[in-house]
Amino acid sequence: MIRAYHRARGDLERNEIIVPQAAHGTNPATATMCGCVVREVPVDAEGDVDIAALTAAVGPKTAGIMLTNPSTLGVFERHIEAVARIVHGAGGLLYYDGANLNAILGKVRPGDMGFDVVHVNLHKTFSTPHGGGGPGSGPVGVAARLAPFLPVPVVGRRGERYCWLTERDLPQSIGRLSAFGGNIGVLLRAYIYMRMLGRDGMARVGEFATLNANYLLARLTRSG
């Protein structure tokens, strides 16, 4: 979707995806599979993205950056607003890997941090099964300017009725990715889970996730 967005704007040279050292391990693989060139940037001593290195890395070929926040180092990216300004200022987009989303549920929204694309892992954050064949699901959400490029079919509305939107309705769509895998059940399960918990309950999930992580950190520190 990021590449399609840039192509639609005539930015045909934007093929570089920036990936911090502390990003989720699948990010560089995903970018490579999409035909992009991966540029890795280091993190500083505190685990945050090295702002000087990021500033030097962005340019006219920057398509976007893929970030996990909190990162795989287990720390929240404190410079995220600066990261967003730098990448957006260079014409790139921000992609949020929701691998650690459960730590910030109810506390901060990826869109408020400046992200343009978000993918979440239902098995990591919203109580759906992962092992035993799944089926898993990784819903993707985008900012309004990227909505025309979403894969189809997409649920839309005509008047008071819901309907499927296809390539005919969304001519800029990146198309169909694969056949449905029968995973509508886990999507409904995740939706019900969120509705049952409500806003306050989701915030408690984030608090307990952070507490559990720090508990394990303390135990591991004691054990040496």
Closest CA to 34 of 45, 26, 42, 46: 26
d(CA 9, CA 87): 17
Is the pLDDT higher at 181 or at 144? 144
Answer yes or no: are the C-beta atoms of 42 and 86 closer than 8 Å. no
Residue with tokens 């590449």: 3
Closest Cα to residue 85, out of 108, 115, 56?
115
Q: Whole-model pTM?
A: 0.90
* Mean pLDDT, residues 195-218 taken together: 94
Q: What is the mean pLDDT of residues 87-95?
A: 98
101: left (phi over 0), alpha (psi -120 to 50) or beta: alpha
Alpha carbon distance 74, 218 (integer Å): 13
pLDDT at 125 > cutoff 70? yes
Once rounded to an integer, what is the mean pLDDT over residues 97-113? Answer: 93
Domain boundaries in the chain?
Answer: 2-223
pLDDT at 182 over 80: no
DSSP string, 107-151: T--HHHHT-SEEEE-HHHHS----STT------EEE-GGGGGGS-
Per-residue pLDDT tens digits for 53-66:
999 999 999 999 99
pLDDT for 143-165, tens place per residue?
Answer: 999 999 999 989 999 999 999 99
The C-alpha torsion from 188 through 194 and 197 to 201, rounded to 10°, is 160
CATH of range 2-223; options 3.40.640.10, 3.40.50.970, 3.10.20.340, 3.40.50.2300: 3.40.640.10
Q: Has residue 181 got a pLDDT over 80? A: no
